[in-house]
Amino acid sequence: MEIINLLIILGVGLLAGFINTVAGGGSLLTMPVLIFLGLPPAVANGTNRVAIFIQSFFGVAGYKSKGISAFPYSLWLGISALLGAIVGAKIAVEISGELFERILAIVMVGVIVVTVFGSPGSKGDMMEKMSKKQRVLAIIVFFFIGIYGGFIQAGVGFIILAALTLINRFTLVKANSAKVFVILVYTASALMVFIIEDKIEWLPGLILAVGNSAGAWFGSRWAVDKGEKWIKIILIIAVTGMAIKLWFG
């Protein structure tokens, strides 16, 4: 691969890492670029997972350096999602790509409305909900999130944020910190499947990982410093762009 192409991948990775850590949907930037530069879709999907996995380490470290963590709760969610991701990475969904993307676009709009403008519960009740019922429900939900994340990474961050804000009433900052940890855990299993199937181009994958990781480190610390207001703004922009792209192709 030519130097100019690797530089493009590095730059796109930087932006995608920031978006992934603050909101989600960064893979909608990286995947088309990898395909445009000549990688088959399945290989682009696997190569992108290298960057997602390494990026997540830096995202977790960035939040931890600011004292934001949902551990060990996020570990249980991550294990549940990991099991789901093994299933997701192995199964083939019998639905046309165009129909799937349009359905996903509608789902993403619903996710952003609920996450940004509030859940059906009382607006004044903003305390975290960590009862046994909420924890068990979240663990079950994250198994299915893992299936989706293992099958196709794009947009999973939005779904995770919605789950954590709805079920556990996490702030967006804390939900983001849990999100990057969960993605780190379940991506390990999905990545292993792609490695076994020989669906990874390592050089562009590692270059992309450098860009993603730098963006994730900056994004995680920026999110803590700026707080809820700016995360919501980035979230709205990211999900709107994602929905438009999915709907119109």
Q: Burial of 123 by CB count in 10 Å (0-12 exposed, 13-18 middle, 19+ buried)?
A: exposed
Of 148, 140, 150, 113, give the one whose Cα is nearest residue 239: 113
In the predicted model, what is the mean pLDDT of the chain? 80
> pLDDT, tens digit, for every residue of 105-150?
676 666 666 555 654 444 445 578 888 999 999 999 999 999 888 8
Distance of CA 17 to the CA centre of its chain: 10
What Rg value do the Cα atoms of the chain yield, rounded? 17
In the chain, what is the straight-line distance between the N-terminal and C-terminal CA atoms, in Å? 27
Question: For the residues 193-215, what does the mean pLDDT come to?
Answer: 91
Number of helices (H), then strands (E), in the chain? 10, 0
| Predicted confidence (pLDDT) at residue 226 exceeds the cutoff of 80 | no
Contact 154, 239 (CB under 8 A): no
Highest mean pLDDT among 10-24, 68-82, 149-163, 222-236: 68-82
This prediction's pTM:
0.73
